């Protein structure tokens, strides 16, 4: 797979704020990459650098094997093989839908016949029948966003940049559009860099997810790689590992790890030998209440029930370990406060990390 986009050590600061640390990654032909991270972590900045709407400080950007920015060499946005879809649609309010879609093609001097063909194709692809002569204000939010996508696709970019394109839609429409968009991008097999702060959106759209935290890449991988082997406690948290327990690593590389005074087995995610304080991350769904004295393998941990919250299809139990650390888990029945429970934690779903305060990438 040849790369449509290559970033090598690209960084960006605004004033004294280092918004992006040196970042390197590639987008392959037809590949959809989602940039996932909380508000303010630098997602939009990264997209703007790729688009050429902001200048990079260091490093190099390559598109289709051609360097578009390095040092003083800089190719402006209109000459990069890209197009962009924004969160707020950014349609021209005084132009009809047809004029909005034709605008970019006219600027790029696409011949009239080609323009008509593309317009017809996009009209059916994005379900815009009967809307072309209207003004943007006469369309619903979902329709406007479809026009935004049609307009971006009309110039036949090699790389589509999308910055939270669904975040202005209401929840129901967003969920529908999410799968519709995933299908559309899959059918078009157009390389896409898609910014979102929503994990489910990233899971639906992405071939690979790039997790951005404070301007640095914590992990890049397929949704299942991230979900099953989160590289840092932070990625784990993002992937729904909402339980965090303090643990203690022994001195040898394969030594016993203690959680709440009990030995636990798990997946060691911090490379190399490690001794001292650490954390273990665990999904609420991966903790089970032991019934009776079955010996079905896995770690055992004693806990005391604090509260049971009815959630309709199940109860959420909040319990406390012997050393007073809280854990959340799900159970199919209510448990009285102060009840003593034995919990089973399957070793393959226990993620173990060195102390994030002392390792570089916590
Ligand atoms: P995100 O899209 O992940 O929410 P942004 O990339 O928009 O984050 O912003 C990251 C950080 O960079 C923020 O702290 C923001 O204030 C800062 N920033 C972004 N653009 C500019 C700019 N043009 N001038 C100064 N600071 C900026
Ligand atoms: Mg943003």
CA of 143 to the centre of ligand 2 (A): 22
Pocket lining: 19 vs ligand 1, CB cutoff 6 Å: yes
Tell me 148's DSSP state. Answer: H
Q: What is the pLDDT of residue 243?
A: 97
Q: What is the pLDDT of residue 360?
A: 45
**Closest atom, ligand 1, to C-alpha of 42:** 6
CA distances from 300 to 52, 85, 126, 148, 154 (A): 54, 50, 53, 54, 58
Its pTM stands at 0.90
C-alpha 219/C-alpha 362 separation (Å) is 12
Contacts of 270 (CB under 8 A, 6+ apart): 278, 352, 353, 354, 359
Confidence tier at 361 by pLDDT (50, 70, 90): very low
For residue 275, what is the domain's CATH number? 2.40.50.100
Look at the chain and report how many structural domains it folds into.
2
Backbone φ and ψ for 350, nearest 5 degrees, come out as: -95, 115
Mean pLDDT of 340-360: 84
Indicate if 66 and 168 belong to the same structural domain: yes
Domain C-terminal end among 183, 199, 228: 228
| 3-class DSSP assignment, residue 108 | coil
Indicate if 267 and 340 belong to the same structural domain: yes
Mean pLDDT of 163-190: 86
The token pair at 320 is 């406390």
Ligand 2 (ion): which residues have CB within 5 A? 44
Question: Percent of the chain having pLDDT more than 70?
Answer: 96
H or E element, residue 140: none
**Closest atom, ligand 1, to C-alpha of 46:** 6
Pocket lining: 38 vs ligand 1, CB cutoff 6 Å: no
Indicate if 78 and 176 belong to the same structural domain: yes
CA of 160 to the centre of ligand 1 (A): 21
Reported as a single tens digit per residue, the pLDDT across 106-120 is 988 999 999 999 999
Q: What is the pLDDT of residue 88?
A: 73
Q: Whose CA is nearest to atom 16 of ligand 1?
A: 40
Indicate if 242 and 311 belong to the same structural domain: yes
CA of 138 to the centre of ligand 2 (A): 27
Pocket lining: 40 vs ligand 1, CB cutoff 6 Å: yes
Indicate if 89 and 200 belong to the same structural domain: yes
Q: Whose CA is nearest to atom 21 of ligand 1?
A: 14
Q: Is the pLDDT of residue 362 over 50?
A: no
Whether the CB-CB separation of 157 and 81 falls below 8 Å is answered with yes
CA distances from 1 to 20, 31, 67, 81, 299 (A): 27, 9, 18, 18, 43
Confidence tier at 34 by pLDDT (50, 70, 90): very high
Pocket lining: 45 vs ligand 1, CB cutoff 6 Å: yes
Whether the CB-CB separation of 298 and 292 falls below 8 Å is answered with no
Whether the CB-CB separation of 124 and 55 falls below 8 Å is answered with no
Indicate if 135 and 273 belong to the same structural domain: no
C-alpha 362/C-alpha 345 separation (Å) is 23
Least confident of 186-190, 296-300, 339-343: 296-300
Of the listed ligands, the closest to the CA of 42 is 1
Indicate if 344 and 211 belong to the same structural domain: no
Pocket lining: 16 vs ligand 1, CB cutoff 6 Å: no
Of the listed ligands, the closest to the CA of 13 is 1
Confidence tier at 356 by pLDDT (50, 70, 90): low
Q: Is the pLDDT of residue 1 over 70?
A: no
For residue 104, what is the domain's CATH number? 3.40.50.300
Of the listed ligands, the closest to the CA of 38 is 1
Indicate if 188 and 275 belong to the same structural domain: no
Q: Whose CA is nearest to atom 1 of ligand 1?
A: 40
C-alpha 216/C-alpha 43 separation (Å) is 10
Report which of residues 271 and 31 the model is more confident about.
31
CA of 39 to the centre of ligand 1 (A): 9
Pocket lining: 174 vs ligand 1, CB cutoff 6 Å: no
Reported as a single tens digit per residue, the pLDDT across 201-233 is 999 999 999 999 999 999 999 999 999 999 999
Question: Percent of the chain having pLDDT more than 90?
Answer: 72
Pocket lining: 196 vs ligand 1, CB cutoff 6 Å: no
Q: What is the CA radius of gyration of the chain?
A: 25
Indicate if 169 and 241 belong to the same structural domain: no
CA distances from 23 to 58, 74, 159, 178 (A): 10, 18, 19, 28
Among 89-98, 243-252, 315-324, the range of highest mean pLDDT: 315-324
Q: Which of 165, 137, 130 has the alpha carbon at shortest distance from 151?
A: 165
Indicate if 34 and 166 belong to the same structural domain: yes
Of the listed ligands, the closest to the CA of 54 is 1
CA of 74 to the centre of ligand 1 (A): 21
- Expressed in angstroms, the distance from the first to the final Cα of the chain is 32
Which ranges in the chain belong to alpha helices (H)?
43-51, 97-107, 112-125, 141-154, 171-188, 199-205, 223-228, 233-238
Q: What is the pLDDT of residue 105?
A: 92
Domain C-terminal end among 199, 228, 257: 228
CA of 38 to the centre of ligand 2 (A): 9
Reported as a single tens digit per residue, the pLDDT across 50-76 is 999 999 999 999 999 999 999 999 999
Indicate if 181 and 244 belong to the same structural domain: no
Average of per-residue pLDDT values in the chain: 91
Task: Express the helix, strand and coil content of the chain in percent, nearest 5 each.
Answer: 25, 35, 40
Indicate if 321 and 193 belong to the same structural domain: no
Domain C-terminal end among 173, 202, 228: 228
Residue 292 belongs to what domain range? Answer: 233-358
Residue found under tokens 């939009």: 44
Pocket lining: 14 vs ligand 1, CB cutoff 6 Å: yes
Pocket lining: 44 vs ligand 1, CB cutoff 6 Å: yes
């Amino acid at each position: 797979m040849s790369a449509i986009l290559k970033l090598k050590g690209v960084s960006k600061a605004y004033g004294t704020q280092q918004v992006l640390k040196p970042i390197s990654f590639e987008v392959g032909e037809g590949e959809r990459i989602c940039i996932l991270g909380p508000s303010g972590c630098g997602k939009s900045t990264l997209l703007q650098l790729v688009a050429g709407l902001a200048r990079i400080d260091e490093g190099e950007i390559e598109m289709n094997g051609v360097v578009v920015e390095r040092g003083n060499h800089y190719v402006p946005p209109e000459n990069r093989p890209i197009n962009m879809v924004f969160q707020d649609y950014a349609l021209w309010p005084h132009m009809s839908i047809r004029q909005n879609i034709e605008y970019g093609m006219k600027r790029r001097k696409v011949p009239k016949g080609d323009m008509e063909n593309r317009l017809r194709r996009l009209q059916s692809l994005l379900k815009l029948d009967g809307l072309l002569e209207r003004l943007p204000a006469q369309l619903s939010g979902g329709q406007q966003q479809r026009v935004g996508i049609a307009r971006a696709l009309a110039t036949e970019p090699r790389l589509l940049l999308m910055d939270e394109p669904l975040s202005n839609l209401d929840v129901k429409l967003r969920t529908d559009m999410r799968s519709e968009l995933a299908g559309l991008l899959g059918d078009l097999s157009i390389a896409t860099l898609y910014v979102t702060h929503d994990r489910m959106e990233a899971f639906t759209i992405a071939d690979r997810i790039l997790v951005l935290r404070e301007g640095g890449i914590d992990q890049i991988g397929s949704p299942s790689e991230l979900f099953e082997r989160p590289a840092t406690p932070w990625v784990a948290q993002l992937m729904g590992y909402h339980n965090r327990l303090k643990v203690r690593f022994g001195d040898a590389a394969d030594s016993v790890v203690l959680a709440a005074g009990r030995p636990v087995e798990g997946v060691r995610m911090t490379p190399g030998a490690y001794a001292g304080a650490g954390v273990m991350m665990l999904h609420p769904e991966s903790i089970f209440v032991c019934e009776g004295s079955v010996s079905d393998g896995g770690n055992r941990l004693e806990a005391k029930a604090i509260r049971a919250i009815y959630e309709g299809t199940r109860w959420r139990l909040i319990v406390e370990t012997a050393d007073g650390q809280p854990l959340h888990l799900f159970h199919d029945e209510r448990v009285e406060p102060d009840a003593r429970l034995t919990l089973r934690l399957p070793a393959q779903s226990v993620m173990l990390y060195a102390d994030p305060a002392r390792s570089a990438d916590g």
